[in-house]
Amino acid sequence: MVAALASGCSVTVNIVDEDSETDSEGSSDDEVGTTETTETDTDTTESSSETADTSSETGEQAPSLGGDWQPGAGVVQGLCGGEVLIRPMLTDPVAIADLGEGEYLLSFTSGCDLSFTWEAELGEAVMTPTTCRIDAEGEPGILDATYGAFTPRGADPSADEAELLIAYTVDVGSCELEYDVQLTLDAGPEPVEELAAFVPGDFLESVERDLDGNTWMVNRGPSGTGLFLHEGGQLFLVAQYPADTLGTIVIDELGDLYGTLVAPEDPNGERAIIAVEDGMVVPLALLPQDTLPNGITADLDGNLYVADSLGKVWRLEPGSNTAEIWAEDQPLVQEPGGFPGPNGIKIFEGEVYVSNPSQLSMVRTPILDDGSAGESQLYAYGVGIDDFAIDVDGNVWGTTHPFNGLVLVRPNGEVRLLHDKDDDFWGPTAAIFGRAEDDLNNLYVVTDGNAFGSVLPPHLSQSMEVSAPKLLRLDAGVMGAPIPGD
């Protein structure tokens, strides 16, 4: 996990397992230098030992927290040089050593471990303030961790989540940040099956399943730009899209296939809602040039809803060739920072669910009796979800492209990391449940093979290697909600 600090001086603080590969990756000019262990580290260790002697009274009540915890969700936020900084978390592990008797050591960054002591009355492990020397762009600096608390969620932390809060200052650049991270002890146990692989350089953007058990995907790249069908273990390009375009798809209750079409790099390029019929792309409605159509879904009346990543949701009624703005309130706004606004979109129990990576949030907007939009409400915060699927219990299964994770968002807003890059989830972009009777518990996910991650700066601890985008399947253990939902 990484926080990049601004204000003319970039400092990166990694929370990683010191034995992980990310510690050994090369750093860019903007990256923090090697953290050096100093005399203050020794002082902290001695302080930790003294605390351990007094913690035996609460040792019996202290849970076992050791292991490689990983963030399901979370943000790094604060001030740096007078500027507000907000960054999402990544899925690199947080190594926590359980020293016994209610004492823990968290690997904050190389040579800078944080000591925690279990406080039974508070129900959390509290950090001993720690000071470490760091090197930022060749300048020596001091990282001062002033506060930390690690709170398990549920009676059995090994099977549930925990929350980690850390506040620290860096005297190079005058930065003060706070971690607000929801941690998961391990990535999910479900086996993941690879069904199909494209070639490196392809970009899978969307996935759908039909009642016959076939998979439909939108790709851009050397294998072809357009709509692909995976049937009988084979891949077929069934509808060609214009060069340099992308799109998303939805299959409505009648089995008809609709989608979006956009040339994202060309401000004057394609922006449309389409149907695909007999291998032909049929434009249904053109959208304004100042839009960026992304996800698409349909309701039981045949209305199509499109997430516009510039901050809106559009609706196209059956038989119309003009889409209207359906919702554009504050939770849908695209905040600055480089991440898209409204992205994935689905309907469940009369509400339109929309992910908004730019706000690290997911919102839901009720469909009122007259078809208009009610007030959008926050569903989850601290997780940058691209696309997602919803199960019958209302849980959201979200892909965190480009941060290499599949997460489960419960109706109460808690987030659990299910799979990460170690399970081949490199750049997961979209997810959908099966629709055939024998396929309802299966979740299908497409990845981009790290095509987007490969262009992220090295300080985000992403691999630079581009692999083959894939179609993956896993048994979710629960049925998907009807698509489209009512």
How far apart are alpha carbons 24 and 258 in whole angstroms?
46
pLDDT digits over 226-260, tens only?
Answer: 999 999 999 999 999 999 999 999 999 899 999 99
Higher pLDDT, 277 or 456: 277
Query: Are 443 and 476 within 8 A, CB to CB?
Result: yes
pLDDT at 404: 87
pLDDT digits over 15-63, tens only?
Answer: 333 333 333 333 333 333 333 333 334 343 343 344 434 443 444 578 8
Ranked by mean pLDDT, which of 130-144, 266-280, 455-469 comes out on top?
266-280
**DSSP of 310-361:** TTEEEEE-TT-S--EEEE--GGG---SSS--SS--EEEETTEEEEEEGGGTE
pLDDT at 91: 75
How far apart are alpha carbons 349 and 292 in whole angstroms?
27
**Residue 9: how many other CB atoms lie within 10 Å:** 18
Structural tokens at position 77: 């936020």
Q: Is the pLDDT score of 385 beyond 90?
A: yes
Query: Are 157 and 65 within 8 A, CB to CB?
Result: yes
What percent of the chain has a predicted confidence (pLDDT) above 70? 81
Query: Are 397 and 481 within 8 A, CB to CB?
Result: no
The residues near 278 (Cβ < 8 Å, ≥ 6 apart) are none
pLDDT digits over 396-441, tens only?
Answer: 999 998 888 999 999 988 888 999 888 889 999 999 999 999 999 9
> Considering only CA atoms, which of 246, 207, 252 is closest in space to residue 472?
207
User: Which residues face 293 on adjacent strands?
Assistant: 308
Q: What is the pTM of this model?
A: 0.83
pLDDT at 110: 64
Structural tokens at position 318: 């059956």
pLDDT at 36: 37
What angle is formed at CA 356 by the lines to CA 353 and CA 362, rounded to 5 degrees? 45
Structural tokens at position 321: 């060739």
Residue 313: phi, psi to the nearest 5? -125, 130
Give the burial class of 414: count Cβ atoms within 10 A of its Cβ; 0-12 exposed, 13-18 middle, 19 or more buried: middle
Domain with CATH 2.120.10.30 in the chain: 193-475
> Considering only CA atoms, which of 185, 165, 93, 184 is closest in space to residue 416?
184
The rounded mean pLDDT for the chain is 83
Give the burial class of 40: count Cβ atoms within 10 A of its Cβ; 0-12 exposed, 13-18 middle, 19 or more buried: middle
pLDDT digits over 162-193, tens only?
Answer: 889 989 887 766 778 888 888 887 676 678 99
Q: How confident is the model at residue 155 (pLDDT cuts 50, 70, 90)?
A: low
**Residue 107: how many other CB atoms lie within 10 Å:** 23
How far apart are alpha carbons 352 and 424 in whole angstroms?
30
Q: Is the pLDDT score of 138 beyond 50?
A: yes
How far apart are alpha carbons 71 and 407 in whole angstroms?
10
Half-sphere exposure of 206 toward its Cβ, with a 13 Å CA cutoff? 27
Query: Are 165 and 177 within 8 A, CB to CB?
Result: no
Q: How far apart are the first and last CA of the chain?
A: 38
How far apart are alpha carbons 324 and 190 in whole angstroms?
42
pLDDT at 135: 67
For residue 401, the SS3 value is: coil
> Considering only CA atoms, which of 74, 164, 4 is closest in space to residue 384?
74
> Which 8-state DSSP code applies to residue 157?
G
CB environment 384-394: b (16+ within 10 A), e (fewer): bbbbbbbbeeb
pLDDT digits over 185-221, tens only?
Answer: 767 667 899 999 999 999 999 999 999 999 999 999 9
> Would you identify the CATH topology of the domain 193-475?
Neuraminidase (2.120.10)
Query: Are 63 and 120 within 8 A, CB to CB?
Result: no
